[in-house]
Amino acid sequence: MKGLIRLLVSMTVLLFASGALAQEGSTGGGAELQVSPRSPQAGNVYVPESSRTQSGLFAHTTYMLRSLDGSKPAALSTPNAAAVAGPLATTEVAETPASMGCLYLSSPYSAGCVPNSSSGTGGPSAAGYGAIAIVDAFDNPDAASDLATFDSYWGLAAPPSFTKIYANGNGDCSTPPADAGWAGEESLDIEWSHVFAPKAAIVLVEACSNSYTDLLYAEQVAFEYIVNNYPAGGQVSNSWQGGHPGVADDPFFADWNYNAVTGYKTPILAFASSGDGGFEGSSEGFPSAVPWVISAGGTSVLRNPTNLYFSSEACWAGSGGGTNTLEFYTTSWTGGNIGPWADFQYPIYGGLAGPALRTTPDLSFNADPASGVWVFSLYGFGGWTPVGGTSVSSPALAGIVNRAGNKLGSVFLTPITGGGDWFSTWENNLLYSQLATAKAYASNFYDVRTGSNGTAAVKSYDTCTGVGTPRGLLGK
């Protein structure tokens, strides 16, 4: 790199069915968020042990399964098209690669968007670059064959490569022990990151355990693997959450912490699930609240009960959201925090008067188990099952952003400065910059305005769906 990077341091349990109120919380900018009853959950869900809150510095998965009666659903040998009654006289159906590709990339209201669970229905066309790395805990012994089965059933092209890495270099294990709950998570993550970016390599990085020590080490392994093997860069998806350990760990999720060896020319973005507990008021969710991360929230996909045409997207009751008291606005560089290097929410929540706090989520995707996506996991589920939760959102959005091909990271180098430019959160900058536009926002995003996760979805940004859900690739 011809110049030094200049850092700007001198500027002065689920309550769906009960409809219970979320905690009242502050935006950090002085105004109180308006709490409201959470939307009822359509149908029943089963929350696996791996998705239940852990004590201490341990993470949990962020998925749940569509269920007939709240018990663990039996695995299916092939997907089927069973529907669930949704709100406002709508229907929710388990979604497929083809129906999700149609909804988020092309013609949402067309007949081609109707979910068809028959084999060979395909998905989005071939696109993508570099690699998408998935960071999870424990081992899925069937990860590679799960992905192959998923691709074969739907008629999807295999990725250029699939690599499984044991993040055991910290000495905490030789081979991560197998765990069914996390294995289901891993199958979901590799399959749905691949759907939208078939030409991106898929890299599964397995931590020795779900401790932060092991998961943060695995995060480092994932970023460094992309830096060392994929010059075009890529994305790292994290479908897990726990309590926030403090801003000192934020740089684990920023590419500037890894890509100096390539002259800051390997752009990598981190994504993280916003959680499945709905609006949390003062939320300490990690790593979703890290400002370098694109926090992935969730929606419900509602369909016409007569013909299953797309009707609308609504805020899913479980979509995690809120403000983080540790990620406050400061003009002193910390490696984390909201600040001049990460001020994408400044126009909404203001600056030092408050102070402003990091608010989640940023962008959303279908995450309602009632409109969940089909996943195949032999070790995790025993076969096919519809899966929901913001665990779906993180890898799917990583795939969509990969497909868009803007190759954004935290560093942007320009010759006029001699190669000395600012660290910044370029993807979130792009997403949020469109909120004020007269045309681009309405063309590039679906503005979710119905439903509640404890705060109601409203026009523009909200703490259930962020800026909304993708429509096409522009602005991503």
- pLDDT (average), residues 444-458: 97
More reliable by pLDDT, 27 or 255: 255
Using the structure block, give the residue that is written with the tokens 């665990």.
391
Residue 215, classed as helix, strand or coil, is helix
- State which H helix or E strand residue 141 sits in: none
Q: How confident is the model at residue 415 (pLDDT cuts 50, 70, 90)?
A: confident
β-bridge partners, 236: 133, 270
- pLDDT (average), residues 156-173: 98
**475 DSSP 8-state letter:** T
β-bridge partners, 271: 237, 294
Taking 50 as the threshold, does the pLDDT of residue 22 lie above it? no
Interval 380-409: pLDDT, tens: 999 999 999 999 999 999 999 999 999 999
Using the structure block, give the residue that is written with the tokens 């007939």.
68
Q: How confident is the model at residue 32 (pLDDT cuts 50, 70, 90)?
A: low
Q: How confident is the model at residue 437 (pLDDT cuts 50, 70, 90)?
A: very high
**397 DSSP 8-state letter:** H
Q: How confident is the model at residue 7 (pLDDT cuts 50, 70, 90)?
A: very low
Q: What's the burial of 414, exposed, middle or buried (CB within 10 Å: 0-12/13-18/19+)?
A: exposed
Q: Fill in the amino acid letter for 338.
A: I
- pLDDT (average), residues 181-190: 98
Mean pLDDT of the chain: 91
**358 DSSP 8-state letter:** E
What percent of the chain lies above the pLDDT cut of 90? 83
Q: Alpha-carbon distance 476 to 470, whole Å?
A: 8
Buried b (16+ CB within 10 A) or exposed e, 270-283: bbbbbbbbbbbbeb
Task: Report the Cα 156 to chain-centroid distance in Å.
Answer: 22
What percent of the chain lies above the pLDDT cut of 70? 91
Q: Alpha-carbon distance 176 to 239, whole Å?
A: 18
State both tokens at 440. Answer: 């681009």
Q: Fill in the amino acid letter for 393.
A: S
Q: Fill in the amino acid letter for 266.
A: T
Interval 81-135: pLDDT, tens: 788 999 989 999 999 999 999 999 998 888 879 999 999 999 999 999 999 999 9
What pLDDT does 283 receive? 63
- pLDDT (average), residues 336-349: 92
What pLDDT does 354 receive? 59
Taking 70 as the threshold, does the pLDDT of residue 342 lie above it? yes
Taking 90 as the threshold, does the pLDDT of residue 421 lie above it? no
What pTM does this model have?
A: 0.93
All structural domains of the chain, each given as residue ranges with its CATH number in brackets, are 44-470 (3.40.50.200)
Interval 54-84: pLDDT, tens: 989 999 999 999 999 999 999 999 999 788 9
- pLDDT (average), residues 326-350: 92
- pLDDT (average), residues 12-21: 31
Q: How confident is the model at residue 2 (pLDDT cuts 50, 70, 90)?
A: very low
More reliable by pLDDT, 364 or 15: 364
Taking 80 as the threshold, does the pLDDT of residue 9 lie above it? no
Name, in order, each residue with C-beta under 8 angstroms of 25's C-beta and a sequence gap of 6 or more. Answer: 32, 33, 279, 280, 281, 282, 283, 322, 323
What pLDDT does 33 receive? 63
**155 DSSP 8-state letter:** T
What pLDDT does 228 receive? 98
Contact 361, 320 (CB under 8 A): yes
